[in-house]
């Protein structure tokens, strides 16, 4: 591989921007094209066709998507289903028709069944229905795997599917600070410290567990898989470390200096009971493992947010 032209859909978003940065430090990447949504609405087939005509890519990394936290998934399930399904289907189909050499589809851990045994192994991906609140979004992203495997079987199209866990890191935006677990907790704790409030309110009871991956580690995994992995089976991308929401709140409170009380609003949903991935396939297939410990990643993220908020 050398001098490859790469499209990164969603390359101006949170994960996508780190993928773009990592690609630009990769010897085999010659040019990165980021299709901004103002110019290329990937829900529209004409815009997708124009994107491929303008970029002439060898490789496509499809990161773009519409997503949000529990509240957003409750309020906008139809949008999340329609937008993600339409983007994925058209971007991959036109990649095949345009002669793209490789397509990297980015899924999401919430596509796993609600009660998947922990740690989640890729072989359990079809063993049940996703957690109900996230299901419309999750199933739309899950169809990327169906499409990738179907196109590989019929057209010999080299499409792979990666499954990252919940991500966090610098460059928190306004939407993340409201909707996503770690950014929202950091914002609430720092706001409380600055205003002198002695309590914060968190949805649920703190019992559900999650796994979190530092965004730079995820970008490294995506670029490594792009270069070294070309099989139909999905691949988990995570840290392999499970932490309860209660423990996470305690860590962020300590790192932000918040010493007040946490009030758990049990009238609100807590989401899927447990999430933690078996990440052995990623190491076996392309030698990737996460390197950033949760405490260190949280410290970097909080430092960035303090400086840029």
Q: Which residues are catalytic?
A: 137
Place of tokens 């095949």: 96
Q: Return the pLDDT at 98.
A: 97
Q: Is residue 20 part of a domain?
A: yes
Domain membership flag for residue 177: no
Answering whether pTM is above 0.85, one says yes
Does 175 map to a domain? no
Domains: count for the chain: 1
CATH number at residue 217: 3.40.50.720
Contact 76, 68 (CB under 8 A): yes
**Residue numbers of the domain that contains 280:** 4-168+213-238+275-292
Asked if residue 36 belongs to a domain, the reply is: yes
Residue 107 placed within a domain:
yes
Q: How far apart are CA 161 and CA 221, in angstroms?
A: 12
Q: Could you tell me the end-to-end alpha-carbon distance of the chain, in angstroms, rounded to an integer?
A: 40
Tokens linked to 68: 């949000």
Structural domain contains residue 24: yes
Mention every residue, 6+ apart, whose C-beta is less than 8 A from residue 306. Answer: 190
114-120 contacts, C-beta under 8 A, 24 or more apart? 114/272, 114/273, 115/273, 118/209, 118/242, 118/274, 118/275, 118/276, 119/240, 119/242, 119/276, 119/277, 119/278, 120/236, 120/275, 120/276, 120/277, 120/278
Question: Of how many residues is the chain composed?
Answer: 309
Phi, psi of 99 (to 5 degrees): 80, 25
Q: Is residue 42 part of a domain?
A: yes
Is 17 part of any domain? yes
Q: Would you state the pLDDT for residue 133?
A: 92
pLDDT along the chain (309 residues), means of 10: 94 96 96 96 97 98 90 91 97 98 96 94 97 95 98 98 96 71 93 95 93 97 98 97 96 97 91 91 98 97 91
């Amino acid at each position: 591989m050398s001098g490859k032209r790469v499209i990164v859909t969603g390359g101006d978003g949170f994960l996508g921007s780190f993928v773009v940065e990592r690609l630009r430090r990769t010897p085999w990447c010659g040019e990165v094209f980021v299709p901004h949504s103002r110019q290329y609405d990937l829900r529209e087939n004409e815009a997708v066709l124009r994107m491929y005509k303008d970029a002439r890519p060898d490789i496509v990394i499809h990161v773009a998507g519409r997503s949000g936290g529990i509240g957003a998934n409750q309020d906008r399930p139809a949008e999340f289903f329609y937008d993600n399904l339409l983007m994925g289907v058209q971007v991959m189909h036109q990649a095949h028709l345009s002669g793209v050499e490789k397509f990297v589809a980015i899924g999401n851990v919430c596509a796993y069944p609600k009660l998947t045994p922990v740690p989640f192994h890729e072989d359990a991906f079809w063993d049940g229905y996703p957690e109900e609140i996230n299901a419309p979004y999750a199933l739309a992203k899950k169809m990327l795997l169906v499409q990738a495997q179907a196109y590989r079987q019929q057209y010999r199209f080299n499409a792979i599917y990666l499954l990252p866990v919940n991500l966090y890191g610098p460059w928190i935006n306004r939407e993340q600070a409201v909707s996503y677990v770690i950014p929202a907790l950091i914002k609430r704790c720092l706001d409380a410290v600055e205003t002198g409030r002695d309590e914060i309110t968190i949805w649920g009871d703190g019992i559900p567990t999650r796994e979190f991956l530092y965004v730079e580690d995820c970008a490294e995994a995506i670029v490594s898989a792009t270069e070294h992995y070309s099989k139909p089976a999905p691949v988990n991308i995570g840290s392999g470390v499970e932490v309860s929401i209660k423990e996470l709140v305690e860590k962020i409170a300590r790192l932000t200096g918040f010493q007040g009380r946490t009030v758990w609003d049990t009238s609100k949903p807590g989401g899927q009971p447990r999430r933690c991935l078996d990440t052995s396939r990623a190491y076996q297939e392309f030698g990737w493992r996460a390197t950033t410990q949760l405490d260190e990643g949280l410290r970097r993220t909080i430092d960035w947010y303090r400086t840029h908020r």
